[in-house]
Amino acid sequence: MKLTLGKIFIEDVQFGKDTKVEGKTLFINKDELLDAVGESEYIDNIDIDITHPGDEVRITPVKDVIEPRVKVDGPGGIFPGMINKVQTVGSGKTHALKNVAVVTAGKIVGFQEGIIDMTGPGAEYSPFSKTHNIVVVANPREDVKQYDHEAAVRQIGFKAANFLGELAKNLTPDEEITYETLPLLQGVEKYPDLPKVGYVYMLQTQGLLHDTYVYGVDAKKIIPTFMYPTEMMDGAIVSGNCVSACDKNPTYVHQNNGIIEDLYEKHGKEINFVGVIVTNENVYLADKERSSDWTAKLTEYFGLDGVIVSQEGFGNPDTDLIMNCKKIEEKNIKTVIVTDEYAGRDGASQSLADADPKADAVVSNGNANEVIVLPPMKKIIGMTDYVDSIAGGFDGSLREDGSIEVEIQAITGATNETGFVKLTAKEY
């Protein structure tokens, strides 16, 4: 499967009379965007705001972050099973508006939505402080159930990103990159002397409001399966979960998975990147055993020499991570796990809830329990009255002057486990 990704680099976003891209500026007619996202029986009001890197702005509570993309050529459409009909994507040509993100916010759904500061110390922890953000603030009607609230806001975000992505369809990209994964036997024949490497992509599905969708299907309902890496670039996997903000994978991360991009960079040179095995994270032991058994079986079936496994979330999913690692290693396949740590505020506690001697190659993306003070901002997009109760917050987190003392797990993307972060750990 071959996909050419065309990148259109945007340097500014403004409200304007017409919705268009002119030069390096994205202009948005607010009413047109509101019409595009439509109304929902579960949503009381929707507003649109814009913020830029360096602005003294705090966005919170953040639900999802999405990059505007559009299919230019090839089957299917962006976000299949969500916005467009179910059809296999990942081939042909796709355009993306880079440096731009749709951010959904508004009244909190659960207790684990996050914070994006566009400047100050918090901005150094979130990759989305560097994007021009179109913030869709959607607040629910009274007595709406959490699941209906989350689903409504999720669809609003995809509709907004889909509408803006269409602007890129007839634009000439500033840069084009072609990604290709051949069918297994052809790929092995083409690179017979290179080690065959795969990526085990663990998706957060562990419990209520912990949902990730694959072609519109809640990944709780899937068994581990093979996907071409380029399918993710077209939005085949999207976020719908309310886990800790620091290490959830917003839809933007699924679209721009750095592990996939790095493996492609080395494909045909140092390794033969065979593809992606998508698996879930489960609550019950029997389900964990089933999924990890299937994951290990697939790595053996594809004849892999090495595997990278990335986790989403922490705690209970640590067991899924270690099960995957242990069982793959028992197939004599070299395995590297990518995770973050919850090592206590002093860094002295056990980092993961589970462990095994076979998990001896680990990439860490930081300690989510690290405490930070976020200074007051001139403008709040959303609301902060919930801060004391979110994951990473505590009684007194929100101070009278508007500053916030929290663990960095409250910051969107701070310790993302695909490596879409600035933090890591070094061995001395």
- The pLDDT tens digits for 364-375 are 999 999 999 999
Closest by CA to 187, choosing from 178, 198, 176, 177, is 198
Token pair belonging to 386: 């919930």
Distance of alpha carbon 119 from alpha carbon 114, whole angstroms: 15
In a domain, 416, yes or no: no
In a domain, 424, yes or no: no
In a domain, 318, yes or no: yes
In a domain, 404, yes or no: yes
Q: Report, in this order, helix, strand and coil percent for the chain, each rounded to 5.
A: 25, 35, 45
Distance of alpha carbon 387 from alpha carbon 397, whole angstroms: 7
In a domain, 286, yes or no: yes
| Locus of tokens 């945007």 | 10
Distance of alpha carbon 83 from alpha carbon 118, whole angstroms: 29
In a domain, 325, yes or no: yes
The pLDDT score that the predictor gives to residue 424 is 67
The pLDDT score that the predictor gives to residue 425 is 65
For residue 39, is pLDDT > 90?
no
Non-local CB neighbours of 104 within 8 Å, separated by 6+ positions: 62, 63, 64, 65, 66, 135, 136, 138, 153, 154, 156, 157
Distance of alpha carbon 215 from alpha carbon 399, whole angstroms: 42
DSSP class of residue 220 equals G
Confidence category of residue 308, pLDDT binned at 50, 70, 90 = very high
**Average pLDDT value over all residues in the chain:** 94
Distance of alpha carbon 35 from alpha carbon 38, whole angstroms: 5
Among 60-74, 273-287, 303-317, 388-402, the range scoring the smallest mean pLDDT is 388-402
Confidence category of residue 108, pLDDT binned at 50, 70, 90 = confident
The pLDDT score that the predictor gives to residue 210 is 86
Among 16-25, 101-110, 334-343, the range scoring the smallest mean pLDDT is 101-110
Token pair belonging to 232: 């993710």
Question: Average pLDDT, stretch 405-417?
Answer: 95
Q: Where in the sequence is the domain holding 243, given as residue range(s)?
A: 2-410
Cβ count near 209 (within 10 Å): 16
Q: What is the model's pTM?
A: 0.95
Cis omega (within 30 of 0) on the bond before 61? yes
Question: 208 in the Ramachandran plot: left (φ > 0), alpha (ψ -120 to 50) or beta?
Answer: beta
The pLDDT score that the predictor gives to residue 209 is 82
In a domain, 90, yes or no: yes
Catalytic residues, by residue number, are 242
For residue 146, is pLDDT > 70?
yes
Question: Average pLDDT, stretch 150-163?
Answer: 95
The pLDDT score that the predictor gives to residue 111 is 63
Q: Are 95 and 169 in contact (CB under 8 A)?
A: yes
In sign, the C-alpha dihedral spanning 332, 427, 365, 271 is: negative
Greatest CA separation for the chain:
65
In a domain, 331, yes or no: yes
Question: Average pLDDT, stretch 131-149?
Answer: 93
The pLDDT score that the predictor gives to residue 181 is 97
User: What's the Rg (C-alpha) of the chain?
Assistant: 21
Report the number of distinct structural domains present in the chain.
1
